[in-house]
Amino acid sequence: MRTWMKLGLMTVAVLGLGACTGDGEEEPILCPQEVAFARSSTGTCESFPTACDVPQGYIRCCGGLFGGCSSETSCVDDPSDTCAPGASADCPGICQ
């Protein structure tokens, strides 16, 4: 009986380790530990611990106090707000 239990536990351990390592086809997602700012289509800019924590559908905020965009995008004026770019530090743009 003990032999069967050991064999069963070893099988579960091997299967569990295989599930943790994956099949090697997907690249891991890398997220630098830097604060990312984003907003919903109707909200104000919020801070998130990393860019990976920004909810889907949110728009990245940039400029002034919010920092820059990723290398694939640039910071442009946010047409949905009423502030003028460069007028103050709290007038964010959006990454496009």
Q: What is the pLDDT of residue 28?
A: 74
Q: Which residue has the higher pLDDT, 58 or 10?
A: 58
Please check the confidence at residue 89 and state whether its pLDDT lies above 70.
no
Residue 66 lies in a domain: yes
Residue 72 structural domain:
36-95
Residue 79 lies in a domain: yes
Percent of the chain with pLDDT over 70: 68
Residue 7 lies in a domain: no
Tell me 3's DSSP state: H
Token pair for residue 16?
């569990």
Residue 53 lies in a domain: yes
Q: Count up the domains in the chain and report the number.
A: 1
Q: What is the pLDDT of residue 53?
A: 92
Q: What is the pLDDT of residue 92?
A: 78
Tokens 């069963």 locate to 8
Who contacts 95 (Cβ-Cβ below 8 Å, separation ≥6)? Answer: 59, 60, 61, 62, 69, 70, 73, 74, 75, 76
**pLDDT average, residue stretch 2-18:** 47
